[in-house]
A and B are shown apart, each in its own frame.
Chain A
Amino acid sequence: MKPLLSVRGVNKRFGAVIAAHGLSIDIPSGQKVSLIGANGAGKTTFVNMVTGYLKPDVGSIALEGIAIERRSPRNIARLGISRSFQIPQLFIELTAAENLLVAIAGLGSGRPSLHSPAEARGHRERAIELLQRFGLASLADRRISELAGGVRKLVDIAMALVRRPRLLLLDEPTSGVSAEEKFVTMDRVIHAVGHDAATIVFVEHDMDIVSRYADRVLAFYSGRIIADGKAQDVLKDPQVRRYVTGGAR
């Protein structure tokens, strides 16, 4: 059986900086995979390459056997990979519902209708339903510019779910959320995402979140994967303790 995502021998350099070096990863369908590593280890570069924002210098990336390493972000989105961002990428002068309606308008071929109303029956309900999953329905008609950072993060994830992606990549879903709110936020995200995306890859710095929610952990260091396995094993790995967690666990 083909893995959902297959990465083979991927390299990426930015001048003298090696952001990815010989990355080879298979991610089967249904896993919750956490990417850990210090700043600059190559986690976000990996996410950017899988979603088409960056092209690898060498190597291949395939989604269920379909090569995607040279495709544009919109083509990859149409194939079933969605992402959220470390800094939420929203339309700040539009309301939360309108942000989701833009995502809904892009469903299918990604060609929004020139005459069908954006708020047509069914579209608006779907937008509200998604916001409801994140507990944000009451904020549907608030402009993004009026919303707090944590709320923006959830709207960002909700937008990524509109396409019911086969693979969802979340870049630091709990960053900017207070320590006591992190588990509440992550519970909400996992519950909300569970409806629509079977496979989740999330970048995370909080090891409590990682050990609680990840089925599998990939530890990055200098563009390489230094450990791959179950959270309890990876977090005990001496190299991971040295380069990633700093002996925190």
Chain B
Amino acid sequence: MGRNRHHYLVMILPVLVVVLLGRLLPTWTLSLATVAASNAMVALGIVVLARTGNVSFGQGLFFAAGGYGVALIANSWGTTDAVAQVAIGAICGGLLGLVIGPLIARYSGIFFGMLTLALSMVFYGALVKTTVLGGSDGFNIGRPSLFGIAFVDPREADFMLYAVSVVTVGLTAIAATVLFRSEFGLASLAVRENNLRVEYLGISASRIVAINFIIAAVFAGASGAFALMAQRHIDPQFAYWTTSGEFVFVAVLAGYQTVAAVFVASLALELVRSFSNLYLPNTWQLALGIFLLAVIFFLPRGIGSLWAGRRPKGTDQASATPTAAEEGAPS
């Protein structure tokens, strides 16, 4: 346990280094990194859920719930603190996940995916028709502050948001790493493989799925807060199926083996999108599609398979029998 704590402290160091690196980066990369980190958080939630064998095609629902929750509270109560807004976004997403998760956990496979998509589109439709929330145009919020400090200089404001997003995402990554290595994380993989056997071991498979679903909703809600703070505007597009689709893209690119892969995949996707948009303005979607196809073709288990998922397990079928010494074990 002590070694684990030491390990997690070591994981915080790169987070601090990345925050400080932001001082050296050009302004446009700060925005890009903030968006990438924000998207990675939602995708990480999808990966958490995918470990149970279920993919959500509707994380835009919780992304939008977090964003709208923060925007409404900011405009009503004047809450502009970035950390508070992230917490509010996470709570809004989590509460919605708490309602939906236990209901949806009894479904699996394509039914699960389509239900999540349907719920997000219902929410999108409701937002478009709700004039008090700005309808399809949405509404704006003010610039975020941090611990009572207002940031007037745009570069400083961008850096603040970058720093908060990197620290939040870093802490989320550490939490996800703890989760993946936990008893619960292993049980989640077991649900993916054989949920009936999980039940015969005394574990509720639907409870495992529901908890993972709620965790994914919390991540998406917090991410919605970041997207809102970065744009200072929210509209129903947050809940639209293409928004959810982008998060699934990142999750597919990453694979489900490691947490770090999700952030690498998100950053890679943002870079490809930005540069292809810059140099191929009329065909950038084509470039993005080719990139996705290349990753799926060459790394079918995701970018994470480059450095994970190759545990030292034998491949020799013939040797997969008890050793001679064990054959002689008392019987």
B154 CB within 8 Å of chain A? no
Contact of A112 among B187, B199, B322 (CB under 8 A): B187
Q: Which residues of chain A are near B313, meaning CB under 8 Å? A: 95, 141-143, 146
A82 and B200 alpha carbons, distance in the complex (Å)? 7
A116 CB within 8 Å of chain B? yes
Q: Which residues of chain B are near A91, meaning CB under 8 Å? A: 189-190, 193-194, 197
B20 CB within 8 Å of chain A? no
Given contacts A114-B182, A117-B182, A135-B329, A106 and B197 within 8 Å (CB-CB): no
Q: Which residues of chain B are near A142, meaning CB under 8 Å? A: 313-314, 320
Q: Which residues of chain A are near B182, meaning CB under 8 Å? A: 112-118
Contact digits for A81-94, partner B, Cβ 8 Å, 1 yes 0 no: 01100000111111
Contact digits for B152-184, partner A, Cβ 8 Å, 1 yes 0 no: 000000000000000000000000001101111
Question: Shortest 5 CB-CB distances between A and B: which pairs?
Answer: A105-B183, A112-B183, A135-B326, A91-B193, A110-B202
Q: Is the interface of B mostly helix, strand, loop or mixed?
A: helix
**Which of under 10, 10 to 19, 20 to 34, or 35 or more describes the interface residues of A?**
35 or more
Q: Contact between A118 and B314 (Cβ–Cβ < 8 Å)?
A: no
Contact digits for A135-170, partner B, Cβ 8 Å, 1 yes 0 no: 111110111001110010000000100110000000
Q: Contact between B326 and A90 (Cβ–Cβ < 8 Å)?
A: no
A-B contact count (CB 8 A): 147
Between A72, A101, A104, A139, the greatest number of chain B beta carbons within 10 A of the residue's beta carbon is seen for: A139
Which residues of B are in contact with A by a Cβ distance under 8 Å? 1, 4, 178-179, 181-187, 189-190, 193-194, 196-204, 207-208, 211, 311-315, 317, 320-323, 325-327, 329-331
Residue of B nearest to A108 (CB): B202
Q: Contact between B199 and A74 (Cβ–Cβ < 8 Å)?
A: yes
A92 and B320 alpha carbons, distance in the complex (Å)? 14
Contact of A146 among B190, B198, B200, B315 (CB under 8 A): B315
Q: Contact between A138 and B322 (Cβ–Cβ < 8 Å)?
A: yes
A78 CB within 8 Å of chain B? yes
Q: Which residues of chain B are near A99, meaning CB under 8 Å? A: 190
Q: Which residues of chain B are near A72, meaning CB under 8 Å? A: 199
Given contacts A106-B203, A112-B186, A138 and B323 within 8 Å (CB-CB): yes
Kindly specify which of A35-43, A184-192, A199-207 makes contact with the partner chain: A184-192
A174 CB within 8 Å of chain B? no
Q: Which residues of chain B are near A151, meaning CB under 8 Å? A: 320-322
Q: Contact between A148 and B320 (Cβ–Cβ < 8 Å)?
A: yes
A137 and B326 alpha carbons, distance in the complex (Å)? 8
A113 and B203 alpha carbons, distance in the complex (Å)? 12
Q: Which residues of chain B are near A163, meaning CB under 8 Å? A: 201-202
Q: Contact between B331 and A102 (Cβ–Cβ < 8 Å)?
A: no
Contact of A92 among B193, B202, B208, B315 (CB under 8 A): B193
Q: Which residues of chain A are near B1, meaning CB under 8 Å? A: 120
A95 and B309 alpha carbons, distance in the complex (Å)? 12
A143 and B309 alpha carbons, distance in the complex (Å)? 12
Q: Contact between A118 and B200 (Cβ–Cβ < 8 Å)?
A: no
Q: Would you give the shortest CB distance from A140 to chain B, in whole angstroms?
A: 11
A/B interface sample: 7 pairs, CB < 8 A: A74-B199, A92-B193, A117-B4, A119-B181, A141-B311, A146-B315, A188-B331
A137 and B329 alpha carbons, distance in the complex (Å)? 11
A132 CB within 8 Å of chain B? yes
A99 and B323 alpha carbons, distance in the complex (Å)? 20
Q: Which residues of chain B are near A148, meaning CB under 8 Å? A: 317, 320-321
Given contacts A94-B190, A110-B203, A117-B4, A139 and B198 within 8 Å (CB-CB): no
A116 and B320 alpha carbons, distance in the complex (Å)? 30
Q: With A82-B200, A91-B190 given, name 19 new contacts (CB 8 A).
A: A72-B199, A74-B202, A74-B203, A89-B194, A91-B189, A102-B186, A102-B198, A102-B203, A105-B184, A110-B202, A112-B184, A112-B186, A112-B208, A117-B4, A132-B326, A139-B320, A146-B313, A159-B197, A184-B331
Q: Would you give the shortest CB distance from A171 to chain B, in whole angstroms?
A: 12
Q: Which residues of chain A are near B327, meaning CB under 8 Å? A: 135
Q: Contact between A115 and B178 (Cβ–Cβ < 8 Å)?
A: yes
